[in-house]
Chain A
Amino acid sequence: MSDRIFGIVGILLAIGFALSALAIEESFLSDAVGPKAFPLIIAAILGLSSATIALRPDAEPAWPALARLVEIGAAVVVMILYAEFLPIAGFVIATAFAAAYLAWRLGSGPIEAVLVGIGTSLGIYVIFHLVLGLSLARGPLGF
């Protein structure tokens, strides 16, 4: 079933891609092939392979239970928040929180998670910023 849904999504993607390709505005100065041809070939391959996947599905993959999916979803949300807050809160603070959260969700106890968070954040800051000179996001506190 998963493969059938995947195949149908793939076909829709291919159609969308082909329609967007047809909508590309051509420049008056164009080569013999133009900017549309290659994307249309790709869309065709995408569509054909998706159709094959939908018609001849593999065995069902082992999807995780709902709780695990929520877990992954939550991690994605934390990562997005991390990306958004990085320029605002500064590297050290944002990273400490994100790393601590991930460590906690991967099975560390609360104290260990906090230590991993702070350790990762400071460790990366020292190695990458102070030693190697990589520019990291600067927060209101200067780090």
Chain B
Amino acid sequence: METFANLADGFAIALTWQNLLLALLGCFLGTVMGALPGLGPSNGVAILIPLAFTLGLGATPSLILLTSVYYGAMYGGRISSILLNIPGDEPAMMTCLDGHPMALKGMAGEALSLSGVASFVGAFLATWGLILLAPQLVKIALLFGPAEYFALFALAFMTLGGVSSTNQAKSAFAAALGLGLATVGVDTQTGVPRFTYGEVHLYDGLDFLVAIVGLFALSEVFIFLENRHGGAEADAGKVKIGRLYPPLSMLKACVPTMLRTSFLGFLAGVLPGAGASLGSFISYSMEKRLVDKEGTFGTGDPRGVAAPEAGNNAAAGGALVPMLALGVPGSGTTAVLLAVLLALNITPGPLLFTQNPDVVWGLIAALFIANFMLLAMNIPMVGLFTRVLMVPSRILMPIVAMVSFVGIYGISGSTFDLLVMIGFGVMGWVLRKLDVPLVPIILGTLLGNAMENNLRRAVTIDNGDWTTLIDSPLSIGLWSIALIGFILPLIIGRKVKAGMHARRDEEGALSD
């Protein structure tokens, strides 16, 4: 009952004109960003952070804007998958498999609206999952001391590698690089400068927003410069949308699929490091194994469209659970959202639910509202978004680059930060070429200070005894999960990932 009272309070916060307007704006921008190949949820949100920040929005309104973008991008990714066979972002990869064949059969409109409904079901159920699961997780997290938190951070980094890269060593490298970057600046506990080499600008540390925008948005511009191709505009006009509403029988046939895959996708999202791409991948594979008796999957089966879309939107909601309850994000985009919280001086984690219940429940209420807005936007108005796809990347990418510069300059007004951002952009490009995942780097720069502080607090409390790190059953449990999460993918992960990455398109965004 308490939950419902909280939720009602949340709706009271979210239902102001300003917040509704922000949610609407976020949903629209998010869908556009999701639909455009090359702009995924993580760089879409990254570009908008500085904007939310400089507009002086409070914590709740900024989060409402940015999570609406996040949910919107998850909806939007399917549009170009279905119409052009190019995933708008990585989680929408699996939607190509059946969505595009449906469009070729002249059922593009049905595919779009069916996947819109599936997205809605997935996101709606996942938001309920978030409401029910997050407070339980908070109860466990309240038992955590510094040693357990240190173990939890280690767990996040170790399991992240299992999914985000084909090479564990490379994700370990990425995590260490991010953590190392976080240590630049004045040490918070003793006040000595570290790795600053006398550069005054570095005393405050590297701004993680600069790192995020550089790594995600600018590196994308470099990828486009490298390939220089006109992008998606080529044959957008060829596919006819057709009728916009799916027949009731088709919807009915897909209901069990949507429910099953929403559940599965939600679970995939909650797991640290997995995120929406894995959600849509396992949803599709499981449905194929379960219901594809006539071998119609891959040839335009409506269930093959509903499964990955419900799965990826449910995973998007699921990934918010560990981010809000533990302060440890479950995916790339939630890592970016965590950056927003940190930039606004709000520490996510169990205390968030007791100290800032208005933020949490306002956000959850906004998710429900955004979800209905997105459903309304994505079915009758889908034609509008298909038109956006006509914008060629040679016009789009300069705008992306310039908006990134404006955002970062708007925060700090310093040329130095712009140069650092360019540096991160180049680094991001090289690392992407070498197949090094970028999400652990972001997570490292975000969580590095908290991780180090918890380590030092734990050891200091125990008078310099390092064994305190594995003293309690809870921390031993966390460390063993971390070890299993690191080793297991070495054994079985290769197969799963090979399947996932086989369909990875260089053009899709790098992560969810």
Q: Which residues of A contact B (CB under 8 A)?
A: 2-3, 6, 10, 17, 20-21, 24-27, 29-35, 37-39, 42-43, 45-46, 48-50, 52-53, 56, 58, 61, 63-64, 68, 71-72, 75-76, 79-80, 82-84, 86-87, 91, 95, 98-100, 102-103, 105-108, 112, 116-117, 120-121, 123-124, 128, 132-137
B176 with A124: CB separation less than 8 A = no
A72 to B409, CA, bound (A): 22
Interface flags for B168-180 (1: CB within 8 Å of A; 0: not) read 0110110111011
**Given A35-B194, A135-B413, list of 17 further CB < 8 A pairs?**
A3-B434, A38-B452, A39-B183, A45-B172, A49-B169, A52-B172, A61-B434, A63-B433, A79-B405, A80-B422, A86-B405, A86-B418, A98-B402, A107-B228, A108-B394, A116-B398, A133-B55
**A49-B172, A136-B406 known; A39 and B460 CB under 8 Å?**
no
Residues of chain B within 8 A (CB-CB) of A43 are 176, 180
**A25 vs chain B, min Cβ distance (A):** 6
A124 with B403: CB separation less than 8 A = yes
A53 with B456: CB separation less than 8 A = no
A76 with B422: CB separation less than 8 A = yes
Task: Kindly specify which of B218-226, B250-258, B361-369, B471-479 makes contact with the partner chain.
Answer: B218-226
* Interface residue count on the B side (C-beta < 8 Å): 63
Interface flags for B352-395 (1: CB within 8 Å of A; 0: not) read 00000000000000000000000000000000000000000111
A2 to B187, CA, bound (A): 35
Residues of chain B within 8 A (CB-CB) of A37 are 455-456
A83 with B419: CB separation less than 8 A = yes
A30 to B409, CA, bound (A): 36
B402 with A38: CB separation less than 8 A = no
**A65 vs chain B, min Cβ distance (A):** 10
A50 to B395, CA, bound (A): 39
**A73 vs chain B, min Cβ distance (A):** 9
Partner of A106, one of B183, B190, B398, B463: B398
**B452 vs chain A, min Cβ distance (A):** 4
Interface of B, helix, strand, loop or mixed by DSSP: helix
User: Could you pull out 15 A-B pairs where Cβ atoms are within 8 angstroms?
Assistant: A21-B195, A27-B190, A31-B456, A32-B456, A33-B459, A37-B456, A45-B172, A49-B169, A61-B435, A95-B402, A95-B405, A100-B398, A103-B398, A107-B230, A135-B54
> Is B192 interfacial (CB-CB < 8 Å)?
yes
B173 with A10: CB separation less than 8 A = yes
> Is B237 interfacial (CB-CB < 8 Å)?
no
Partner of B169, one of A56, A133, A135, A137: A56
Nearest-CB residue, chain B, relative to A26? B192
Which of A2, A33, A61 gathers most chain B CB within 10 Å?
A33
B456 with A71: CB separation less than 8 A = no
**B368 vs chain A, min Cβ distance (A):** 27
A99 to B228, CA, bound (A): 15
**B464 vs chain A, min Cβ distance (A):** 4
**A32-B459, A53-B173, A58-B166 known; A2 and B402 CB under 8 Å?**
no
> Is B397 interfacial (CB-CB < 8 Å)?
yes
- What is the total of A-B residue contacts with beta carbons within 8 Å? 197
A120 to B405, CA, bound (A): 12
B169 with A99: CB separation less than 8 A = no
A13 to B434, CA, bound (A): 17
B402 with A124: CB separation less than 8 A = yes
B434 with A72: CB separation less than 8 A = no
A134 with B410: CB separation less than 8 A = yes
Interface flags for B281-303 (1: CB within 8 Å of A; 0: not) read 00000000000000000000000
B residues 174-214 in Cβ contact with A at 8 Å: 175-177, 179-180, 183, 187, 189-192, 194-195
A79 with B403: CB separation less than 8 A = no
Which of B192, B229, B402, B429 gathers most chain A CB within 10 Å?
B402
**A14 vs chain B, min Cβ distance (A):** 8
Interface of A, helix, strand, loop or mixed by DSSP: helix
B222 with A75: CB separation less than 8 A = yes
Residues of chain A within 8 A (CB-CB) of B226 are 64, 68, 71-72
A98 to B425, CA, bound (A): 16
Partner of B433, one of A61, A95, A116, A124: A61
A72 to B483, CA, bound (A): 40
**B236 vs chain A, min Cβ distance (A):** 17
A14 to B177, CA, bound (A): 9
**A33-B460, A39-B194, A84-B415 known; A17 and B180 CB under 8 Å?**
yes
A42 with B176: CB separation less than 8 A = yes
**A32-B464, A99-B398, A107-B228 known; A53 and B406 CB under 8 Å?**
no
> Is B426 interfacial (CB-CB < 8 Å)?
yes
Nearest-CB residue, chain A, relative to B177? A46
**B276 vs chain A, min Cβ distance (A):** 25
9 closest cross-chain pairs (CB), A and B: A32-B464, A83-B418, A52-B169, A106-B394, A102-B398, A49-B172, A46-B176, A49-B173, A45-B176
A72 with B169: CB separation less than 8 A = no
> Is B51 interfacial (CB-CB < 8 Å)?
yes
A13 to B55, CA, bound (A): 39
**B229 vs chain A, min Cβ distance (A):** 8
